[in-house]
Amino acid sequence: MSESVVSKTPKIGITIGDVNGIGPEVIIKALRDNRLTKFITPVVYGSTKVLSYYRKALHLEDFQYSQVKGEQGLNPKKTNVVNCWQEMIEIEAGSDRKNAGKAALAALKKVTKDLKEGIIDAVVTAPINKNNIQSEDFNFPGHTEFFTSIADQKDSLMLMVSEKLRIGVATGHIPLNQISGSLTKELLKSKIHILINTLKKDFGLGKPKVAVLGMNPHAGEEGLLGSEENELIRPVVTGFKDNGHLVFGPFPADGFFGRGEFKKFDGIMAMYHDQGLIPFKTIAFQSGVNYTAGLPIIRTSPDHGTAYSIAGKGIADESSMRSALMMAYDIHKNRKESQN
C-alpha cells in the first residue's frame, strides 16, 4: 500500500483505554461501520488479542481489522491495529485491575510517539480508569492534562461538544473546595481566549458568541451570595467586550440552562467541572465528545467513562465514540483549510 493512497484520508489513532471497561466494545461497534473509512484511516492502539476476545464474546464477528507494525502497512480500507504490549492480559470485564492501567498507559505512550512523529494526524482516546493508570509516567488527573503536557503547552481547555452545545470549564479536575482559590482573572482570560480561538480555527466560526457563567448561586446576587462575579468574572467579560469580542455574562447557571439560553451561543464557559458537565451530559450524553482545545495536536474522546457496570454485556452505546472519530476528522479538515 503506497503512502500516497493512505494519506488521502487522515490517520486517526484510537487508544483502547481500560481493557476491562467499555472502550474495546464501543471501538469495535463504531468501526464495524465501513462507511467511516471514506473519511478516516482508523488505527487502534492496543492489542489484537483484546479485540478478538471482545469480538467473539459479544458476537461481533463482522468486525474486521489488519495488524500493522508501521506507517507503510496502514490499510485505508480497513481498521488497523498496533499491538502495544506482548504479554497476555486476562480480561475481567467490569473489574478495576492494575494490569489494565499498565496496558492503557502502553497504548498512550505509543500513540503519543506516533502523533509527535506525524505517523497519525489525530487521536481519539477510549476511557481510562484514572486510578489504575497512575504511575511514574502518568501522574495526571486525566487525559486532558496528559496531552497538554506531552504537547508542551502551559494551558488547554476541556471542551465538551455536541450538535447543540459547546461547554468549556475554567477549572477542571480539582476538588470543589479549591475552585474559588484557583479561579483568577489570568486563568479565566486564558480559558476564554482558547475557547474563542478554537471556535474560529477548529469549528470554522468567524465571530463566535460566547456566554460566561457565574460561579455562585444566582451569579452572586450582586455580591450578596459571593464576590467572584463582581470582582473577577465581570471585569474579564468587560475586557473581552472592549476588545471587540462577543462575550457576555456572567449568567446564573440554573436559569441559563433551564430557559434554554444556551441555544443562543456558540460556546459557553463554565467555572467548574460539574457546572458544565451536568447540563452537558443531561442534554447530550449519548453523542457528546470531550475535546482538548488549545493544543497543536488534535485529541477527542467519548464523554463517558469506563462504565464497569455494563462492561462485557454488549449493551454499550457507541454513538459518542463515533462522534469523537468524526469530530477529529472535522477539526483536522478545518485546520487544513484554514492554513490554505
Residue 326 has pLDDT above 90, yes or no: yes
**C-alpha to C-alpha distance for 113 and 142, rounded to whole angstroms:** 18
User: What would be the CATH architecture of the domain defined by 154-294?
Assistant: 3-Layer(aba) Sandwich (3.40)
DSSP per-residue codes, 152-205: T-S--EEEEE-SS-EEEESS-SS-GGGHHHH--HHHHHHHHHHHHHHHHHTT--
Instruction: Tell me which of 168-172, 207-211, 214-218 is least confident.
Output: 214-218
pLDDT at position 296 is: 96
pLDDT at position 222 is: 76
pLDDT at position 220 is: 64
Unique residue bearing C-alpha cell 500516497: 4
Q: Which residues of 18-31 are buried (b: 16+ CB within 10 A; e: fewer)?
A: bbbbbbbbbbbbbb
Which position has the higher pLDDT, 71 or 87?
A: 87
Return the bridge partners of 15, or none: 45, 125
Q: Could you give the 3-state DSSP secondary structure of residue 320?
A: helix
> In the structure, what pLDDT confidence band is assigned to residue 314 with cuts at 50, 70 and 90?
very high
pLDDT at position 72 is: 65
> In the structure, what pLDDT confidence band is assigned to residue 1 with cuts at 50, 70 and 90?
very low
* Cα angle: 167, vertex 170, 174; to 5 degrees: 115
Residue 152 has pLDDT above 50, yes or no: yes
pLDDT at position 286 is: 80
> In the structure, what pLDDT confidence band is assigned to residue 239 with cuts at 50, 70 and 90?
very high
Return the C-alpha cell found at 45.
Answer: 492502539
pTM exceeds cut of 0.75: yes
pLDDT at position 6 is: 43
pLDDT at position 18 is: 98
Instruction: Tell me which of 5-9, 109-113, 142-146, 205-209 is least confident.
Output: 5-9
Residue 59 has phi, psi (to 5 degrees) of: 55, 50
Rounded mean pLDDT, 152-179: 93
pLDDT at position 284 is: 87
Residue 2 has pLDDT above 50, yes or no: no
Instruction: Tell me which of 31-35, 108-112, 275-279, 297-301 is least confident.
Output: 31-35
- Provide the pairing of β-strand 209-213 with 11-15: unpaired
Rounded mean pLDDT, 74-100: 93
Which fold, 1-153+295-340?
Isopropylmalate Dehydrogenase (3.40.718)
pLDDT at position 5 is: 42
CA distances from 130 to 97, 105, 306, 334 (A): 12, 11, 10, 31
Return the bridge partners of 167, or none: 160, 268
Domain ranges for the chain? 1-153+295-340, 154-294
Same fold, 1-153+295-340 and 154-294: yes
pLDDT at position 338 is: 80
Average pLDDT over the chain, rounded to an integer: 92
Q: Could you give the 3-state DSSP secondary structure of residue 274?
A: helix
**C-alpha to C-alpha distance for 42 and 35, rounded to whole angstroms:** 12
Residue 340 has pLDDT above 70, yes or no: no
Instruction: Tell me which of 67-81, 182-196, 208-222 is least confident.
Output: 67-81
Rounded mean pLDDT, 75-86: 92
pLDDT at position 231 is: 93
